[in-house]
A and B are shown apart, each in its own frame.
Chain A
Amino acid sequence: MCLAVPAKIIELDNQMATVEVGGLTREASTVLLPDAGIGDYVLIHAGFAISVVDEGAARETIRLFDEMTDGAGADD
């Protein structure tokens, strides 16, 4: 039930956003995320944007993983 899908804000008017999810557009409220702007990737839950998806953090997770497993490879 806590499912949230990442979507991109393509239009924003008075805290109602048009967001794009996998090529489809739908409406979502940004009342819970007042700082969200056009172009942001956000997580949508029950018709509301609840969090901005942080691209830098996504990249960092992958980098940490690669670092970590390279370390494991060296032990073998």
Chain B
Amino acid sequence: MTEASPLAYLDEFRDSPRIKELLARLRERRGGPFKIMEVCGTHTMAISRHGIRQAMPDDITLLSGPGCPVCVTSNSDIDTFIEIAASPGVIAASFGDMLRVPGTRMGLAEARSGGADVRIVYSPLDALTMARENPGNAVVFFGVGFETTAPTVAATLLEAAATGVDNFFVHSVHKLVPPALAALCAMPDLAIDAFLCPGHVTAIIGPEAYEPVARDFGIPSVIAGFEPLDIMLSLNMIAAQVDEARAEVELQYTRGVRPGGNPAAMDLMNRVFQPRDTEWRGLGVIPGSGLSIREEFAAHDAVRRFEVDVSYSREPKGCICGQILTGLKTPRDCRLFRKACSPDHPVGPCMVSSEGTCAAYFQYEA
């Protein structure tokens, strides 16, 4: 512990007396009631695990948002990847989170049981290695994730193009956070007074990306780290904004996020991808909120290479994931929750993903 490192401060960021002090400040507050949406699934998990949601005073409500990439991926995008995975000669590579998410007819795990070659990777680079080692197969990577992940996939695709790995493909269903927040704000039944914004998405796009939401919709946004103290500090910063009738973008997670974000990562992302309209589970089609592969890299685009028919796609019956992802309902409002739907038998993606709202409630907020 003599070496000064950022990690040496981890204890401070988990220090219980400090957290209690911050909670006491929220309890002593004399402002009106308000609702905060924690946009990011990693925040949802941290908030549930540390009991922060239940510890809030009655006048502050924390609602989970659409920031779980697995959860907002539409069934038609999942079905498309499953159809591609089942095509002859294909090795389908995906982050592990995606495997148990049910599609319309089956999930990836079931497709694998049925004979499809589906492999879990930790990094898109692992999929590129697979393509190099299996030149007779088409290796297709499922590009799921927000701005944190899209640059890693862009860098991998550029590497494939530069080194002539012609059998590497990406099915891009990447999504962008700021257009989704703007779409949420524009919903007529919006019940949100402030956003707790994702730390690692912002490490890439920079805090400035939320300025339009704060300015156009008058909604305070605080970019938070992921330790309990980070979250409690951020909630206090939001409370101060609400009480002083300010709507600004403030950065709490200064150790991980720079003004302007990560320009090198943004450059790579923009070289490979271009914005497109895309469908979010629960939010519908949001203009300019998705990323498709540019014409220049069409040779690595899975949807151009494989033609599949997913006209049968539909959302699961009775599942209210869509309303949960927009903060209109909580898992407890769902009649399937803890009955027909559990982590062992998930009906919708919010119960599957390790950072899904239903999974977080099931595990920690019984």
Q: Give the contacts of A1-31 with B (CB-CB under 8 A).
A: 1-4, 6, 8, 29, 31
Q: How far, in Å, is B6 (CB) from chain A's closest CB?
A: 4
Given contacts A33-B264, A41-B7, A65-B18, contact A51 B152 (CB under 8 A): no
The main secondary structure of chain B at its interface with chain A is: helix
Chain A, interface size category, equals: 20 to 34
Q: Give the contacts of B17-32 with A (CB-CB under 8 A).
A: 18, 21-22, 24-25
Chain B, interface size category, equals: 35 or more
A67→B159 CA distance, assembly (Å): 48
B152 touches A48 (CB 8 A): yes
A72→B149 CA distance, assembly (Å): 40
Q: Is B262 an interface residue (CB 8 A)?
A: yes
Given contacts A4-B148, A47-B125, A57-B254, contact A34 B264 (CB under 8 A): yes
The main secondary structure of chain A at its interface with chain B is: mixed
Q: How far, in Å, is B11 (CB) from chain A's closest CB?
A: 10
Given contacts A2-B41, A29-B155, A32-B268, contact A47 B122 (CB under 8 A): yes
Q: Which residue of the partner chain B has the closest CB to A54?
A: B255
Q: Which residue of the partner chain A has the closest CB to B269?
A: A32
Cβ-defined partner of B200 (8 Å) among A50, A58, A69: A50
B7 contact set on A, CB distance < 8 A: 6, 41, 53
Given contacts A1-B97, A4-B200, A41-B7, contact A58 B255 (CB under 8 A): yes
Cβ-defined partner of B22 (8 Å) among A34, A47, A48, A69: A69
Given contacts A54-B6, A54-B254, A65-B229, contact A2 B262 (CB under 8 A): no
Q: Is A46 an interface residue (CB 8 A)?
A: yes
B203 touches A46 (CB 8 A): no
A53→B257 CA distance, assembly (Å): 8
B149 touches A58 (CB 8 A): no
Q: Is B204 an interface residue (CB 8 A)?
A: yes
Convert B240-267 into 0s and 1s, putting 1 for each residue whose CB lies closer than 8 angstroms to a CB of A: 0000000000001011111000101100
Q: Which residue of the partner chain A has the closest CB to B71?
A: A1
A75→B24 CA distance, assembly (Å): 13
Q: Which residue of the partner chain B has the closest CB to A60?
A: B254
B125 contact set on A, CB distance < 8 A: 29, 47-48
A41→B203 CA distance, assembly (Å): 14
B18 touches A46 (CB 8 A): no
Binding site for A on B (CB under 8 A): 4-7, 9, 12-13, 18, 21-22, 24-25, 40-42, 67-70, 95, 97, 122-126, 144-146, 148-149, 151-152, 155, 159, 198-201, 203-204, 229-230, 233, 236, 252, 254-258, 262, 264-265, 268, 353, 355
